[in-house]
Amino acid sequence: MLRLIKKLSRKKGLPPGTLVHVGEPKEQTVKIDLIEFDGETYKTSTITDSESLPVKSKSNKVRWLNIDGVHQTDIIKKIGKHYNIHSLVLEDIVNTGQRPKVDDYGDYLYIVMKMLYPDVQNNSIQSEQVSLIITDNTVISFQEQEGDVFDAIRTRLQEGLGKIRNRKADYLAYALMDAVVDNYFAILEAIGEDLESLEDEVLDDPVPQTLQKIHTLKTDLIYLRKSVWPLREVVSSLERRESPIITEPTQLYFRDVYDHTIQVMDALESSRDILSGMLDIYLSSTSNRMNEVMKVLTIIATIFIPLTFIAGIYGMNFQYMPELGWKWGYFGVLSIMVIVGILMLIFFRKKKWL
């Protein structure tokens, strides 16, 4: 649960634009990859020295600069200086508690997204902040750590699959965003499976742990919603082409991403409704179980308490108790007890408790 609020701690009292990394502390070195391509050519290189960042050029080649790791703020600062990026943007890149958003800085767009992946060990969902800087011929992407969601795009670029090599930076940005959103569907599938096994559990054999599972899943859904809901607005504003950096042919593709985002939201809402239905069933099943326990107690007690009373009567030591001397007294009393017992059973049967 901490997850939902922990990343909020911020540097207090520092001037805006001060770069302070907020997030999981990391140790690996920041990795910078550069891919340059156009319809014909494709070149990939790793930049080890932040001095050797490519100069801005007016060439038609599209450049994709991918940075894995935002914890070394000096590197981020150098990149920011090199590309003339506003200090508030740099601050948001290294502070990984951002909400998905798009900021239009005129000659570049700044986009924040959340990449989600299941954390199998803790049976929860982890998130990583992905920042994109989009100019007309360059895309700079910042990830918190080396990931593989973008590998398929690298392959498509290298092998020239689809139209990606013939398009501009905005299409590349679309492809990256699409990859992130596509990944949400995998998360949803995992949640769907959890929901289904939980539904079986709740209907067949609810135990107190079931409630905790419902609670965990509910928290996961809240977390997912927080990541996806604002993204909807982001993609919608890109789709409406409020910035000249997004060209008209790419607009259609952003509409496609928008549709996917809506589908994710729809599935989240449905999951939430179903989950709240499960809670009702769980709570009701607790009552039903109690009912059953009470019925057993009531049946046993109601049958035997009167019988014990009868036995108690003839256990009294009065000197003058005529029945005690009767020959068939004992068997008569036994018969009466059997009859009382049977009458009780009939009564319970009529009440449908048996």
Does 293 contact its own copies by CB under 8 A? yes
Min separation Cβ 9 and its own copies, Å = 6
Q: Which of 270, 335, 336, 346 binds its own copies (CB under 8 A)?
A: 270
Does 38 contact its own copies by CB under 8 A? no
Stretch that binds its own copies, among 41-49, 76-84, 126-134, 284-292 (CB under 8 A): 284-292
Quick one: tokens of 281? Answer: 């069933």
User: According to CB under 8 A, which residues from 92 to 121 bind its own copies?
Assistant: 92, 97-99, 101, 103
Say which DSSP state 14 is in: P
- 244 backbone dihedrals φ, ψ, rounded to 5°: -70, -15
Q: Which of 59, 84, 298, 335 binds its own copies (CB under 8 A)?
A: 298
- The arrangement of strands across the sheet holding 101-104 comes to 42-47, 31-37, 62-68, 138-143, 124-134, 109-119, 101-104
Does 156 contact its own copies by CB under 8 A? yes
- Write down the H helix ranges in the chain: 2-5, 73-83, 87-94, 151-159, 169-204, 208-239, 248-313, 322-325, 329-350
Does 42 contact its own copies by CB under 8 A? no
| Measured distance CA(245)–CA(83) in Å, rounded | 16
Reference 269, options 199, 188, 348, 352; nearest CA is 188
Residue type at 124 in one-letter notation:
S
Min separation Cβ 289 and its own copies, Å = 6
Q: Which of 9, 59, 84, 335 binds its own copies (CB under 8 A)?
A: 9
User: According to CB under 8 A, which residues from 172 to 191 bind its own copies?
Assistant: 175, 178-179, 182-183, 185-186, 188-189, 191
Q: Which of 61, 77, 82, 86 binds its own copies (CB under 8 A)?
A: 86
User: According to CB under 8 A, which residues from 305 to 324 bind its own copies?
Assistant: 305-309, 311-321, 323-324
Does 77 contact its own copies by CB under 8 A? no
219, 1 Cβ separation under 8 angstroms: yes
User: According to CB under 8 A, which residues from 208 to 247 bind its own copies?
Assistant: 208, 211-212, 215, 218-219, 222-223, 226
Quick one: tokens of 321? Answer: 């108790």
Does 23 contact its own copies by CB under 8 A? no
Measuring CA to CA, how many Å separate 27 from each of 71, 119, 143, 145, 330? Answer: 8, 20, 14, 10, 89
Q: Which of 31, 192, 232, 243 binds its own copies (CB under 8 A)?
A: 192
